[in-house]
Amino acid sequence: MASGTVKVDIEGHIATMTVARPEKLNALDLDMLRALSDAADEVEANAQIRVAILTGEGKGFSAGGDIKAWGGMRPEEFGHAWVRHGHRIFERLATLRVPLVAALNGHALGGGLELAGVADIRIAEQQIKIGLPETGLGMVPGWSGTQRLVRRFGAQVVRRMALGGEIFSADEAQALGIVDAVTTTGNALAAANDYAERIAARGPAALEVVKLMIACANGEDNGTAVEALGSILVAKTGDLREGVVSFTEKRAAQFKGEW
């Protein structure tokens, strides 16, 4: 299926979400943010999907936020309609129930790197560049570049990009732990699909729970992760089934502590 400027293709247990605005190197605007949210909802709702891939159409992964989309906004509009809105959507992608693999087929800069940062695994083509150039424009990373990226890549790496304006090659990014693998030009999607198939062959319930457990250990939205884990566990008990049936039958529940 296609949702605006983000395409969703499903093959077997793998969903591929493609950011599709190649004439702008997949620079993000409000329509694309909404389309990313719709894509996340589609993947989340499909019980057959065990892993998802995120990539860009054409020669770029994402050049970040389109300056034309936010440059003329009033400060309060910029803070709410752009930064907070985008932050919520990126969080939605980062907390997908299934593992997410990013295929970095082109540069991932600013918001594009923050988008890549929502993935659990990142595979980059050898020619790409990675960085956080926002302070050169007099602004700051706003889609969790100073939060999620610090937790996932380390504070010093983010300092070098955000404070020093350093731009890393794919090989440098791999050495720093920003990407997990580097492949030849034109092969990121194929490599990501191979890795996705490797993930999809594993136990889907275990994958979902392990992803939540890792998020807890990494200090990412601990409350949501803990409550999701607890809810999954309780939902499988005989007590919950008895509670639902007794409510429907308008009688007192007879709990037995059945797991």
CA distance 52 to 29: 22
Listing from the earlier edge strand, what are the strands of the sheet with 168-169?
Answer: 108-109, 129-131, 168-169
Catalytic (active-site) positions: 114, 134
For the stretch 68-75, contacts whose Cβ atoms lie closer than 8 Å and that sit 24 or more positions apart, written own/partner, are: 68/29, 69/27, 69/28, 69/29, 69/30
For residue 226, count other CB atoms closer than 10 A to its CB. Answer: 14
CA distance 145 to 111: 8
pLDDT tens string, the chain, 259 residues long: the values are: 545 689 999 999 999 999 988 888 888 888 888 999 999 999 999 999 999 999 999 988 998 776 676 667 677 776 676 677 888 889 999 999 999 999 999 999 999 999 999 999 999 999 999 999 989 888 888 888 899 999 999 999 999 999 999 999 999 999 999 999 999 999 999 999 999 999 999 999 899 989 988 998 888 876 777 777 787 778 777 777 877 888 888 888 887 877 7
pLDDT of residue 19: 93
User: What is the topology classification, in CATH, of domain 2-200?
Assistant: 2-enoyl-CoA Hydratase; Chain A, domain 1 (3.90.226)
Cβ-contact 27, 40 below 8 angstroms: no
Residue 28 exposure: Cα atoms within 13 Å on the Cβ side: 31
Q: H or E element: which one contains 182?
A: strand 181-183
The SS3 call for residue 106 is coil
> What tokens appear for 240 in the block?
């919950």
Domain ranges of the chain: 2-200, 204-249
User: Among candidates 83, 96, 13, 28, which has minimal Cα distance to 60?
Assistant: 28
User: Among candidates 1, 16, 8, which has minimal Cα distance to 194?
Assistant: 16
pLDDT of residue 57: 93
Q: H or E element: which one contains 32?
A: helix 30-45
Strands 6-11 and 2-3: antiparallel
pLDDT of residue 3: 55
pLDDT of residue 87: 83
Cβ-contact 149, 170 below 8 angstroms: no
φ/ψ (deg, to 5) at 142: -120, -5
